[in-house]
Chain A
Amino acid sequence: MITVTINRKKINLEKPVTILKAARMAGIEIPTLCNHEMLEPFGGCRLCLVEIEKMPRLQTSCTQYVTDGMVVWTETEKVVEARKAMLEFLLINHALDCPYCDKAGECDLQDVTAKYGPATGRFAEGKRRHPESFDDPIIVRNMERCISCTRCVRMCSKVQGAYAISMVNRSSKTFVEPFSGGRYDCEYCGNCLTVCPVGAIMSRMHRHTYRPWQIEKEADTVCSFCGVGCSMVLQVRGNSIVRAVPRETGGSNKGLLCNRGRFGYDYVVSSGRLDSPMIKRDGKFRRASWSEAFTYIAGRLKKIKEDSGGNSIAGIVSGRCTNEDGYVFQKFMRAVLGSNNIDSVASFGYAQAQRFFEGIFGQGVTANSMRGIPNSDGVFVVGGDPTAVNPVLGLQIRAAAGKGVPVTAVGYMPGLKIFAANRPMPKPFTETALLSAMVTELRNIKGISGKGLFDKLIKDIPPVSLGEAEEVCGVPSKDIRSAVDALSRMTNPSIVIGMDIIRRTEGQANLLLLAALVSLLNSRIYLLSELPNEQGLTDMGCLPDMLPGGRHLTVESFRRRYEEFFGVDIPSSPGMGIMEMIEAAHDKKIKALYVMGEDLVYSMPDSAYVKAALSKLDFLVMHDIFMTETAGLADVVIPSLSWSEKEGSYTNLERRMQIVRKAVEGKGMEEWRAVSEISRLLGFNMDYKSSGDVIAEIAKVSPLHKDITYEDMTGECMWPYKGEPLRHGISLEDIEMPDKGSLLKRPEKDRIYIGVDKPLFHFETLSRNSEALSSIAPEPYMNVGKALAGRLFLAEGDSANVSTAAGSLKLSVRVDPDIPDNSVMVPDNFGDKGVYAIMQWKVNSALKAPVTDAEGVTIKKMKHAAEEVAV
Chain B
Amino acid sequence: MLSENTVKEIGLIRSKYHDAQSSLLPALYVVQREHGWLSPEALKEVGEILNVPKAEVKGVSTFYAMFRHKPIGRHLIQLCTNVACMIMGSENLLNILKDRYGLEPNGTTVDGRFSLVVMECIGACGTAPAMLVDTDFHDNLTEKRITEILESYK
Contact = CB atoms under 8 A, between A and B. Distances in A.
Interface of A: 153, 157, 163-170, 177-179, 418
Interface string B44-55: 100000010111
Contacts of A164: 53, 55
Given A170-B62, A170-B63, A179-B44, A165 B55 contact: yes
Interface in B52-75: 53-60, 62-63, 65
Contacts of B65: 170
Q: Which 3 A-B pairs have the closest CB atoms?
A: A166-B59, A163-B53, A166-B55
A192 to B, nearest CB: 12
Given A157-B53, A163-B53, A164-B55, 7 more contacts: A165-B55, A166-B60, A168-B58, A170-B63, A170-B65, A179-B57, A418-B51
A165 B63 CA distance: 14
Nearest to A175: B62
A146 to B, nearest CB: 14
A169 B53 CA distance: 17
A169 B55 contact: no
A150 to B, nearest CB: 10
A168 B53 contact: no
A153 B55 CA distance: 10
19 contacts: A157-B56, A163-B53, A164-B53, A166-B53, A166-B55, A166-B56, A166-B58, A166-B59, A167-B59, A168-B58, A168-B59, A168-B62, A168-B63, A169-B62, A169-B63, A170-B63, A178-B55, A179-B43, A179-B58
A179 B63 contact: no
A815 to B, nearest CB: 14
Contacts of A167: 59, 63
B129 to A, nearest CB: 27
Interface residue SS majority, chain B = helix
A167 B59 CA distance: 5
A44 to B, nearest CB: 15
A576 to B, nearest CB: 50
B58 A163 contact: no
Contacts of B60: 166
A503 B55 CA distance: 37
Nearest to A173: B62
A620 B90 CA distance: 89
Interface string B68-85: 000000000000000000
A852 to B, nearest CB: 32
A177 B58 contact: yes
B38 to A, nearest CB: 13
A177 B59 CA distance: 9
A169 B59 CA distance: 7
A164 B53 CA distance: 8
A179 B54 CA distance: 6
Contacts of A163: 53, 55-56
Nearest to A170: B63
B43 to A, nearest CB: 8
Interface string B17-43: 000000000000000000000001001
Contacts of B40: 179
B52 to A, nearest CB: 9
Contacts of B59: 153, 166-168
Contacts of B62: 168-170
Contacts of A178: 55
Contacts of B54: 179
Contacts of B43: 179
- Which of A164, A165, A179, A418 has the most B CB atoms < 10 Å from its CB? A179
Nearest to B64: A170
A168 to B, nearest CB: 4
Contacts of A418: 51, 53
Nearest to A168: B62
Contacts of A157: 53, 56
A178 B54 CA distance: 9
Contacts of B53: 157, 163-164, 166, 418
